[in-house]
Amino acid sequence: MWFLEAFADGAPLHNNPAVFRLSGPVSADALRRAADLVVARHPVLRTTIDEVAGEPVGRVGPVGAADVVVREVPAADAAAFAAWAAREPFDLRTGPLFRVRLGRITPTDHILVISTHHVVVD
């Protein structure tokens, strides 16, 4: 996987997105706290892949804030937001390899995209 990623040139070939349409109010703060807890509990979600002597080496990063972005999204742009969030490229060396994107269409209509790189969920 690491070897193939070197030739992907930023293409989202190994992205694993899950896209959800949420009805009802969503607290951005609660979403951030929940994502932080998931990342704290699962070291693989804090892992990056570096190269040492030509070989891949996993490095587990410190517990910290998850990569969560919340944006206001016009209804006409909802599909484009989901596509952007699903295709956003990962950098194996710098991470993070887990991220959460919430598009707030209205106070009670949202698109949630949870995306991981295949290398951390395989």
The values of phi and psi at residue 54, to 5°, are 80, 5
- Cα distance between residue 98 and residue 24, in whole Å: 25
**Tens of pLDDT along the chain (122 residues)?**
554 555 555 666 689 999 999 999 999 999 999 999 999 999 999 999 998 998 889 999 999 999 999 999 999 999 999 999 999 999 999 999 999 999 999 999 999 999 999 888 87
- Using DSSP bridges, classify how beta strands 47-52 and 55-60 pair: parallel, antiparallel or unpaired: antiparallel
Q: Are 87 and 12 contacting, i.e. CB atoms less than 8 angstroms apart?
A: yes
Residue 107, both tokens = 């106070």
Q: Are 69 and 104 contacting, i.e. CB atoms less than 8 angstroms apart?
A: no
- What's the pLDDT score for residue 55? 87
* Vertex 103: Cα angle to 119 and 81 (nearest 5): 70
- What's the pLDDT score for residue 78? 98
Q: What is the dotted CATH code of the domain comprising 14-121?
A: 3.30.559.10
